[in-house]
């Protein structure tokens, strides 16, 4: 083991000779002794063991099941295409090996290893946290910090600045597997316009392609695609096509032919291109771990970008494998042997399983290879880097194709490091109330691992949603940076206009509220990116009282807000814990505002189906705009500042061009707002540093007694 | 449609000429007009439509997903062997077609139809309750009553008195698929003894049989079974074997031979015995809808009863079908045709589905027949009667084999009416925290449908449990009449002694509490049976304030208690709503008692892992005994009466022989206890009507100010 000091807060323990993942962007210097907080057992594999105190809380692990507090579960980092997110699933699509132990000791751990890592967090024995790395080569980072949030910041600092999408990607987005042709897409758009529901994008799922071939567009279903993209943009909608990892094996299909010619595909043990089957049947997988392959694949996006496309979602990049010829052959042989047999429990389930387990089998993952620095590396060892590097290929391609232009990009599979290139969505969830709660709990954990541009399929992908589920889920998702409604083929339609009139109006109100909140959401998002900070936080990351640690179903959103979403069917209220006095705004129509001071402690809060409760923290403020049909048409000349001031509140309102990366060079504006309460009045100080868009600020300031003062300041 | 008045509270609407289910035990007289509360659309099938008001609550439907309030879901009554109880499942193992509409109108509905019935309770359109009967022949009952509980009582009154198990069946029970031989069974028993954990029964799952043949015992694994049963009984444990619905096709196997000889099996369309495959491979299904078959099958239990067996569980009686030859042949043909094909999304999933969907296919259910009154009736039309009548066969058999002796009996599949013959367990759940909550919500719904002896597989059947899950689940299940820990083959051991020492002690405390509560639990259970009442009630069935309607995670247990189980991982507290002032006893060790008066309203309640909070309602009392190694060794000469008295409290303590049905003839004892508060003192009146066991009552009486008075009365 070699020890490196990355900086004063981060120590790296290098075991063996690990494969470089590029997750961490900072180098360190070798140092002598430094005690690792874990007991290590390092024989064939690396095993770390930590004795937890009864009240220790474990945060992190990004995209995973269970609570904000991860204690009690076993988790396996092994990116998995599993569409049934039941509570016992150990792996979802991402591998996010960062966690924080918060107890008598407080520190972060990042296991930088691209194959399988297991975290047994008090499952086998309630008192022990055990980490198994399926290898003897890995980097383990220990991250220090006084407060939980400091530890996260110190971690985000070493993994590099997060992805920023174009501003329009903060609008409402509509998806479906699939809107299969231009007529259907246009119909969806017209429905949004007809119902006056804001929407920025419409998604193209796999059926827009010709036979599921990447970088093709079906001429039959989307004749004159470029014109259609332009036409839709004029209506106010951007189209977002999907790109899959597997490249169809088909003579004369350019991507296939080029990949073969250049040896760009992963290979089997004989060095021949590895064959797996996904949507189009047999495919090859580009070897994204090779920079040349990334460069090649990244440039392929150009054909769609030239049609006016400005955003993509990368899918099936765990990579998902429906079957391989080997697996299918075995299953079919098994079936043939079972013919006319009297199958009992053992033989029947064995036959059934040989078909059920065809997909995403470990044997298949172990049967292909990447070329890394000239050497063949078994896929199984680097599995978690695949989707990451597919998405990196896209991002690097965009940079080359259209330098300094932001694209919308998010991926299903991910590994820490990928957060610099794109967002993620949380995959193929279900229309279950339980999945709203999972969505809530997952958001801060994802933020801890660098993934800020994220959200779930609102309303649930699989299964049928009822109106109330769409209402309550939208009322939460309106706070997530990625706010997309998506559902699977064969399920009930769940676009906002698919329900009864009442419900349509409620969903519309929620989406309108989202657009009115974009000034705040975007400002908070960008500050979190620039300051290496979180956008969603558990209460305990700010408040250090004991009860705040226990709250799993309320979140802090940016610096000013706390939310308490409803995630239970038929509920018209819920319990809320307030770690301090706050100002409650129950939003029905965001234009009608009334506020109530709610006191520190526990409360039962009535929440009708129409209402979204927003809590403004003490001495904090919310900047609110006005809704519009899409982000580009937002008119934010006049903003509303809703403040709860008992003493002094400060806010920095951030904005930028929303399109380029110029913010990285300091090209952004800030309005510093300070409200100080004096005896009877408020002193307001505004320092506008470069914002030319905002002309007026309308203040609505409430004091501890609930007295509201309204006043307006020109800028 | 013909209308019958069953009694002043119940009207029957007869559509067509329905098959008799024997669910209802009372006849009515034909009457003229009587308006049905529903809009009817009666063409090929029966469709009932009811417009719900926004705040109408719908209770009932027994074994089903979602809340105590069933609004928002679609439910299909079609008994299903589906081991994955995700929130979207429309059918579980039972068909319980009774519901109550509670709003501007208040009444119950029972759809007495033994095939598929669909309840769309505001799923498709939030404002409409729609019931589809897959036939034009059915009886629809409308049940009136002032209060919700009255409606249930009026319903229970027409469906007949519920099943009563022997008293020892209220002890803790241990199951596993499977304790495969006598050595393993004995080891489990010894572990209970060694750890001094009470337990009454150990279960024998399918592996005790010889090749999964009903009414056989493997001579290899259980040599000298009769002696072994006796030996275990002497150790304090009763063995409970499983019986499956399917009879193995095997020459010279008596049950098979007799069934063939007498035409006792269901037949295919050609009149030949219908062949399906389950555990043993190919089986026939006894035609339990035929009384002769029931008589024959019921008598078969004798072979095990003669070995000393006093309890059974009937399983796989939906009936579960792994496959049929037809289905398997088709799937294999499909596989053969797929050989060497390049399968894409459509062809691949079609192949996979042909294996995945082999089990429990509707086509199979439609391909066999019963003989009812000499006529062939397609199974699909009477599907929901199958498990019911298998279990009825057993119960009727017991009566013949050992008249007036109570047996433990519960079934997986059920239909209303079966509650007269046995209990049910809630089937193959998972080791998910969500399934504790489902368990909580399901109990009162089952009670509404007559199923009082019921409980879930504590700790979860499928999947791996951690210690905390077993702790929290046991802390709830200790209140359910059937309290059984059960888990599947291949999952982690979850017997109480399978965990760390701390956890073992906590689970042991919970089980001890169960045994100390048996005087109360048994008394309340029996009174509920005799009075046609519920044992578990939603708060709203007693309290009519608006908040009580919303509470989905607290229950009333009998007449005196309210419970608020913990069902979230790592939670050491929860919110509780108190509809009135109550007395809180947080039980760690039931022998250490301290009480706290908690006030009406909302509270956050700390609940450590060791604690079981029990709330004693105002002017109610709890009768408590002492734990022991099993029910038979309970020493309840001295009982403790814990009372919360602000005015006057009354309690009737019921007891009987625990073994026979003599209670039906009035042979039971009652102790009437009345505690009246005067200025400084309490007046206690005790009227002992026939109880010879109890010698002393130790009173612990708390007033509204928390003052505790202890005193003892001899009987």
Which residue, B414, B468, B533, is CA-closest to B155? B533
Non-local CB neighbours of B331 within 8 Å, separated by 6+ positions:
A335, B323, B354, B355, B358
Query: Which B positions 187-216 lie with beta carbon below 8 A of chain A?
Result: 212
Sign of the alpha-carbon dihedral angle for A498, A503, A509, A510: negative
Question: Rg of chain B over CA atoms, in angstroms?
Answer: 26
Q: From start to end of A98-180, where are the E strands?
A: 98-102, 106-112, 117-121, 128-133, 138-143, 172-174
The span from the CA of B138 to the CA of B347, in Å, is 41
Between the CA of residue B41 and those of B46, B49, B52, B110, B140, what are the distances in Å? 6, 8, 17, 17, 14
Please give, rounded to a whole number of angstroms, the shortest distance from the CA of A278 to a CA of chain B.
7
The span from the CA of B375 to the CA of B578, in Å, is 56
Whether the model pTM is above 0.80 = yes
What is the pLDDT averaged over residues A457-482? Answer: 98
Q: How confident is the model at residue A44 (pLDDT cuts 50, 70, 90)?
A: confident
Q: Kindly state whether B425 is in contact with chain A, defined as any CB-CB distance less than 8 angstroms.
A: no
Task: Compute how many other C-beta atoms are within 10 angstroms of the C-beta atom of residue A295.
Answer: 13
The span from the CA of B569 to the CA of B225, in Å, is 42
Does the structure show a pLDDT above 90 at A36? no
Please give, rounded to a whole number of angstroms, the shortest distance from the CA of A55 to a CA of chain B.
9
Closest-CA residue of B relative to A128 is B500
Q: Name the residue with higher pLDDT: B667 or A680.
A: B667
Does the structure show a pLDDT above 90 at B44? no
Could you tell me which residues are beta bridge partners of residue B273? B267
The span from the CA of A52 to the CA of B356, in Å, is 43
Looking at residue A679, what is its pLDDT? Answer: 85
Interchain proximity A343–B322, CB inside 8 Å: yes
Q: Kindly state whether A460 is in contact with chain B, defined as any CB-CB distance less than 8 angstroms.
A: no
CATH of segment(s) A522-714: 2.60.40.4040
Does the structure show a pLDDT above 90 at B43? no
Complete DSSP assignment for A648-694: EEEEEEEE--SSSSGGGGT--EEEEEEEEE-SSSEEEEEEEES--S-
Closest-CA residue of B relative to A124 is B466
Looking at residue A34, what is its pLDDT? Answer: 78
**Residue A556 · residue A548 · CB < 8 Å:** no
What residues of B are in contact with residue A332 (Cβ under 8 Å)? 335-336, 338-339
Closest-CA residue of B relative to A346 is B279
**Residue B408 · residue B240 · CB < 8 Å:** yes
Joined together, the tokens standing for residue B530 give 């005799």
Please give, rounded to a whole number of angstroms, the shortest distance from the CA of A220 to a CA of chain B.
20
Q: How confident is the model at residue B103 (pLDDT cuts 50, 70, 90)?
A: very high
Q: At what angle do helices A501-530 and A467-477 cross, to 10 degrees?
A: 20
The span from the CA of A544 to the CA of B397, in Å, is 65
Task: Compute how many other C-beta atoms are within 10 angstroms of the C-beta atom of residue B223.
Answer: 12
Task: Compute how many other C-beta atoms are within 10 angstroms of the C-beta atom of residue B105.
Answer: 11
Q: How confident is the model at residue B34 (pLDDT cuts 50, 70, 90)?
A: confident
Q: What percent of chain A has pLDDT over 90?
A: 97
Q: Kindly state whether A88 is in contact with chain B, defined as any CB-CB distance less than 8 angstroms.
A: yes
Does the structure show a pLDDT above 80 at B42? no
Q: Kindly state whether B323 is in contact with chain A, defined as any CB-CB distance less than 8 angstroms.
A: yes
Query: Which A positions 205-264 lie with beta carbon below 8 A of chain B?
Result: 212
Closest-CA residue of A relative to B350 is A355
Joined together, the tokens standing for residue B165 give 């198990």
**Residue A63 · residue A426 · CB < 8 Å:** yes
DSSP SS3 for B563: strand
Length of chain A: 715
Does the structure show a pLDDT above 80 at B40? yes
Please give, rounded to a whole number of angstroms, the shortest distance from the CA of A343 to a CA of chain B.
5
Which residue, A581, A547, A546, is CA-closest to A562? A581
Cis peptide before B377 (omega within 30 of 0): no
Q: How confident is the model at residue B370 (pLDDT cuts 50, 70, 90)?
A: very high
Looking at residue A545, what is its pLDDT? Answer: 97
- Which strands make up the sheet holding A281-284, listed edge to edge? A247-248, A281-284, A276-278
Please give, rounded to a whole number of angstroms, the shortest distance from the CA of B435 to a CA of chain A.
10
Q: Which fold has domain B2-159?
A: Immunoglobulin-like (2.60.40)
Between the CA of residue A58 and those of A106, A129, A435, what are the distances in Å? 10, 9, 21
What residues of A are in contact with residue B355 (Cβ under 8 Å)? 335, 351-352, 355-356
Looking at residue A682, what is its pLDDT? Answer: 96
Q: Name the phi and psi angles at A29, rounded to 5.
A: -115, 145
Q: Kindly state whether A352 is in contact with chain B, defined as any CB-CB distance less than 8 angstroms.
A: yes
Q: Kindly state whether B332 is in contact with chain A, defined as any CB-CB distance less than 8 angstroms.
A: yes
Q: How confident is the model at residue A323 (pLDDT cuts 50, 70, 90)?
A: very high
**pLDDT, tens digit, 9 for 90 and up, residues A189-225:** 999 999 999 999 999 999 999 999 999 999 999 999 9
Please give, rounded to a whole number of angstroms, the shortest distance from the CA of A138 to a CA of chain B.
29
Joined together, the tokens standing for residue B639 give 């009982």
Between the CA of residue B626 and those of B102, B169, B629, what are the distances in Å? 41, 17, 10
What is the pLDDT averaged over residues B112-138? Answer: 97
Q: At what angle do helices A291-300 and A386-401 cross, to 10 degrees?
A: 60
Question: Rg of chain A over CA atoms, in angstroms?
Answer: 26
The percent of chain B in helix, strand and coil, each rounded to the nearest 5, is 25, 30, 45
Sign of the alpha-carbon dihedral angle for A405, A410, A413, A418: positive
Q: Name the residue with higher pLDDT: B260 or A41.
A: B260
**Residue B6 · residue B135 · CB < 8 Å:** no
Residue with tokens 């009240």: A55
Which residue, A29, A566, A113, is CA-closest to A384? A113
**pLDDT, tens digit, 9 for 90 and up, residues A423-438:** 999 999 999 999 999 9
Using the 8-state DSSP alphabet, how is residue B101 labeled? E
Q: Name the phi and psi angles at B44, rounded to 5.
A: -75, -40
Angle among Cα B466, B469, B473 to the nearest 5 degrees reads 150
**Residue A480 · residue B140 · CB < 8 Å:** no
Q: Which fold has domain B167-249+281-320+378-517?
A: TIM Barrel (3.20.20)
The span from the CA of A504 to the CA of A665, in Å, is 43
**Residue B626 · residue B654 · CB < 8 Å:** no
**Cβ pairs A/B, distance under 8 A:** 179
What residues of A are in contact with residue B276 (Cβ under 8 Å)? none
What residues of A are in contact with residue B242 (Cβ under 8 Å)? none
The span from the CA of B352 to the CA of A713, in Å, is 66
Angle among Cα B7, B8, B10 to the nearest 5 degrees reads 65
Query: Which A positions 611-670 lie with beta carbon below 8 A of chain B?
Result: none
Q: Name the phi and psi angles at B143, rounded to 5.
A: -115, 125
Q: Kindly state whether A119 is in contact with chain B, defined as any CB-CB distance less than 8 angstroms.
A: no
What is the pLDDT averaged over residues B30-49? Answer: 86
**Residue A375 · residue A390 · CB < 8 Å:** no
Non-local CB neighbours of B139 within 8 Å, separated by 6+ positions:
B12, B13, B14, B15, B18, B24, B111, B112, B113
Sign of the alpha-carbon dihedral angle for B623, B629, B631, B633: negative
What residues of B are in contact with residue A124 (Cβ under 8 Å)? 466
Does the structure show a pLDDT above 90 at B239? yes
Task: Compute how many other C-beta atoms are within 10 angstroms of the C-beta atom of residue A307.
Answer: 18
Which residue, A537, A534, A455, is CA-closest to A170? A455
Q: Kindly state whether A572 is in contact with chain B, defined as any CB-CB distance less than 8 angstroms.
A: yes
Which residue, A181, A219, A158, is CA-closest to A7? A158
Please give, rounded to a whole number of angstroms, the shortest distance from the CA of B337 to a CA of chain A.
9
The span from the CA of B27 to the CA of B407, in Å, is 29
Looking at residue A200, what is its pLDDT? Answer: 98
Which residue, B47, B42, B49, B44, is CA-closest to B1? B42
Beta strand A311-315 with A238-244 is parallel
What residues of B are in contact with residue A603 (Cβ under 8 Å)? 602
Looking at residue A41, what is its pLDDT? Answer: 79
Interchain proximity A86–B430, CB inside 8 Å: yes
* Direct distance between the N- and C-terminal alpha carbons of chain A, in angstroms, rounded to an integer: 59
Interchain proximity B212–A345, CB inside 8 Å: yes
Question: Which of B348, B356, B432 lies closest to A87 in CB terms?
Answer: B432
The domains of chain A are located at: 2-159, 167-249+281-320+378-517, 522-714
**Residue A271 · residue A307 · CB < 8 Å:** no
Domains A2-159 and A522-714 in one fold: yes
Q: At what angle do helices A148-159 and A433-448 cross, to 10 degrees?
A: 70
Q: Is B384 exposed, middle or buried (0-12, 13-18, 19+ CB in 10 A)?
A: buried
The span from the CA of A275 to the CA of A271, in Å, is 12
Looking at residue B364, what is its pLDDT? Answer: 98
What is the pLDDT averaged over residues B645-666? Answer: 98
Joined together, the tokens standing for residue B69 give 């309030």
Question: Which of B71, B500, B552 lies closest to A126 in CB terms?
Answer: B500
**pLDDT, tens digit, 9 for 90 and up, residues A581-632:** 999 999 999 999 999 999 999 999 999 999 999 999 999 999 999 999 999 9
What is the dihedral angle through the alpha carbons of B581, B582, B586, B592, rounded to the nearest 10 degrees?
Answer: 130
pLDDT averaged over chain B?
97
Q: How confident is the model at residue A39 (pLDDT cuts 50, 70, 90)?
A: confident
The stretches of B301-432 forming alpha helices (DSSP H) are: 302-305, 325-337, 345-356, 362-365, 379-382, 386-401
Using the 8-state DSSP alphabet, how is residue B657 labeled? -
Looking at residue A430, what is its pLDDT? Answer: 98
């Amino acid at each position: 083991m070699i020890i490196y000091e990355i900086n004063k807060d981060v120590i790296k323990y290098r075991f063996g000779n690990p494969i470089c993942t590029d997750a961490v962007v900072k180098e360190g210097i070798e140092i002598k002794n430094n005690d690792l907080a874990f007991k290590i057992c390092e024989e064939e594999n690396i095993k770390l063991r930590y004795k937890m105190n009864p009240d220790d809380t474990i945060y992190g692990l990004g995209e995973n099941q269970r609570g904000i507090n991860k204690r009690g579960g076993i988790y396996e980092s092994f990116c998995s295409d599993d569409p049934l997110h039941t509570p016992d699933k150990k792996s979802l699509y991402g591998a996010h090996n960062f966690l924080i132990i918060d107890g008598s000791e407080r520190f972060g751990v990042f296991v930088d290893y691209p194959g399988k890592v297991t975290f047994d967090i008090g499952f086998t024995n309630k008192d022990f946290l055990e980490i198994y790395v399926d290898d003897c080569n890995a980097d383990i980072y220990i991250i220090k910090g006084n407060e939980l949030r400091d530890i996260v910041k110190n971690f985000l600092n070493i993994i590099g600045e997060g992805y920023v999408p174009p501003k329009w990607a903060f609008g409402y987005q509509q998806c479906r597997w699939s809107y299969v042709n231009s007529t259907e897409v246009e119909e969806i758009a017209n429905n949004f316009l007809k119902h006056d529901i804001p929407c920025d994008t419409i998604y193209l799922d796999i059926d827009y392609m010709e036979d599921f071939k990447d970088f093709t567009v079906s001429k039959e279903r989307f004749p004159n695609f470029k014109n259609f993209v332009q036409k839709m943009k004029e209506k106010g909608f951007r189209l977002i096509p999907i790109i899959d990892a597997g490249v169809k094996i088909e003579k004369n299909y350019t991507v296939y032919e080029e990949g073969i010619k250049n040896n760009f595909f992963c290979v089997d043990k004989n060095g021949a291109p590895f064959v797996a089957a996904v949507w189009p049947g047999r495919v090859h997988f580009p070897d994204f771990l090779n920079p040349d392959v990334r460069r090649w694949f990244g440039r392929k996006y150009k054909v769609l970008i030239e049609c006016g496309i400005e955003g993509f979602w990368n899918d099936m990049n765990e990579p998902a494998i429906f079957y391989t010829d080997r697996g299918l052959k075995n299953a079919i042989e098994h079936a043939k042997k079972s013919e006319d047999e009297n199958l009992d429990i053992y033989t029947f389930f064995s036959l059934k399983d040989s078909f059920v387990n065809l997909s995403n089998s470990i044997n298949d993952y172990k049967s292909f290879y990447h070329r890394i620095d000239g050497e063949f590396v078994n896929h199984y060892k680097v599995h978690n880097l695949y989707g990451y590097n597919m998405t990196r290929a896209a991002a690097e391609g965009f940079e080359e194709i259209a330098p300094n232009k932001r694209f919308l990009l998010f991926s299903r599979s991910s590994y820490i490091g990928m957060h610099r290139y794109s967002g993620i969505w949380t995959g193929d969830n279900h229309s279950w109330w339980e999945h709203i709660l999972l969505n809530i709990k997952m958001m801060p954990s994802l933020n801890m691992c660098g993934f800020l541009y994220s959200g779930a399929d609102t309303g649930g992908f699989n299964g049928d949603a009822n109106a109330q589920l769409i209402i309550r889920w939208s009322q939460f998702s309106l706070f997530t940076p990625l706010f997309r409604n998506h559902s699977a083929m064969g399920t009930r339609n769940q676009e906002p206009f698919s329900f009864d009139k009442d419900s349509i109006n409620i969903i519309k109100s929620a989406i309108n509220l989202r657009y009115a909140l974009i000034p705040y959401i975007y400002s908070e998002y960008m500050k979190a990116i620039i300051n290496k900070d979180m956008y969603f936080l558990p209460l305990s990351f700010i408040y250090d009282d004991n009860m705040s640690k226990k709250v799993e179903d309320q979140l802090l959103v940016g610096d000013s807000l706390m939310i308490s979403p409803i995630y239970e069917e038929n509920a018209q209220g819920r319990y809320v814990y307030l770690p301090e006095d706050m100002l409650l705004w129950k939003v029905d129509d965001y234009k009608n505002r009334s506020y109530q001071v709610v006191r520190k402690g526990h409360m039962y809060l009535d929440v009708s189906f129409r209402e979204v409760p927003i809590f403004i923290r003490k001495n904090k403020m919310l900047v609110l705009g006005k809704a519009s049909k899409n982000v580009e048409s937002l008119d934010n000349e006049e903003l509303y500042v809703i403040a709860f001031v008992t003493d002094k509140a400060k806010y920095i309102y951030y904005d930028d061009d929303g399109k380029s990366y110029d913010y990285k060079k300091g090209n952004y504006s800030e309005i510093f707002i300070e409200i100080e309460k004096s005896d009877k009045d408020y002193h307001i100080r505004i320092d506008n540093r470069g914002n030319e868009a905002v002309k007026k600020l309308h203040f609505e300031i409430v004091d501890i007694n609930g007295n509201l003062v309204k006043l307006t300041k020109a800028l």
